[in-house]
Amino acid sequence: MELLSSSKAFGGSQRVYRHDSVACACPMTFAIYLPHQIEDGPVPVLWYLSGLTCTHQNAMDKGEYRAAAAANGIAIICPDTSPRGADVPDEPDNWQFGSGAGFYLDATQEPYARNYRMESYIRDELQALVTKNFPLDMNRQGIFGHSMGGHGAITLALKNPGRYRSVSAFAPITQPSTAGWSRPAFEKYLGPNETAWRNYDSTLLIADGHRIADLLVDQGTADGFLEEGLRPQLLEIACATAGIPLQLTMREGYDHSYNFVSTFMAQHIAWHAERLVA
């Protein structure tokens, strides 16, 4: 790993690293906040997955997570949202596909299958890398995210029972297989057979029998993507049908921006801490 930056914050350390990824076949960058409690031993870890157009830096600069992470003694990892580079296939004029829009899946269609393997990258490769290099208690992991990252967090938790003790989301894309801004990406990454899409759709994974202990979701009522892309009511129906406890809070007047995410960030981290720290 190459250390790109490091600075002290709330007694801990905010760092950014770059490494050569086998899963994505290109260099990848991630941010990690290590609270001061690492001086006493391994700490729980919380993965934060960002949304469309973002990198590791959006949450690091605008998410306002460090004070709450330090107060609760939790490390926060912010991966990038896609592979990047001159040799990585992309659609530069399409913000809903390619660079910044990996959708946390493993592509099966050419020319994307070689690089766009974000599920394997986060689940396997980056997991192994941080386990080896940082004092983290990998038996106490949680995961959360925003928008496309909320979709990724929920699907990863559903498909990896026992790995993540807690999962939450800000304005997640709840049914990406039918949402207008994700359906075209699914077809390009995964092909026209929609049966393969079910593996990356929270509502359909739940319908197919995947389960999590509980789920926290915040959604702004003034979110411009609410009806077309996010549709939390579909997740609410899926969880109710499956008996999954869902705490869905509609936040009056909040939009889709990091002003919304940062407002409720500390509450989400405290919710995770109840499941990770005790």
At residue 277 the predicted structure's pLDDT band, cuts being 50, 70 and 90, is confident
Asked if 37 contacts 26 with a C-beta cutoff of 8 angstroms, the reply is no
Judge residue 53's burial from the number of C-beta atoms within 10 Å of its C-beta, 0-12 exposed, 13-18 middle, 19 or more buried. Answer: middle
Compute and round to an integer the Cα radius of gyration of the chain: 17
- pLDDT at res. 30: 98
pLDDT tens per residue, range 41-91: 999 999 999 999 999 999 999 999 999 999 999 999 999 999 999 999 999
**Does residue 278 register a pLDDT over 80?**
no
SS in 3 state form for 215-274? EEEEEECCCCCHHHHHCHHHHHHHHHHHCCCEEEEEECCCCCCHHHHHHHHHHHHHHHHH
Average pLDDT taken over every residue of the chain? 97
Q: Which residues of 31-45 are buried (b: 16+ CB within 10 A; e: fewer)?
A: bbbbbebbeeebbbb
User: Residue 234 sits in a domain of what CATH number?
Assistant: 3.40.50.1820
- The mean per-residue pLDDT over the stretch 140-152 comes to 98
- Total domains, the chain: 1
Name the active-site residue from 146, 151, 210, 256: 256
Residues 231-240 have pLDDT tens digits of 999 999 999 9
CA distance 226 to 210: 25
State the average pLDDT over residues 118-130. Answer: 98
**pLDDT at position 211, please?**
97
List strands edge to edge, sheet with 12-21: 2-9, 12-21, 26-34, 75-79, 43-49, 136-146, 164-170, 215-220, 246-251
Catalytic member of 80, 90, 201, 223 = 223
Query: Quick check: 181 pLDDT over 90?
Result: no
Return the structure tokens found at 129.
């890398």
CB–CB of 215/168 below 8 Å?
yes
- 7 catalytically annotated: no
Active-site residue, selected from the candidate residues 21, 99, 147, 182: 147
DSSP 112: T
* C-alpha dihedral (64, 69, 70, 75), degrees to nearest 10: -120
With cut-offs at 50, 70 and 90, classify the pLDDT of residue 253: very high
Question: For residue 25, what are the domain limits?
Answer: 2-277
Q: Specify whether 256 is catalytic.
A: yes
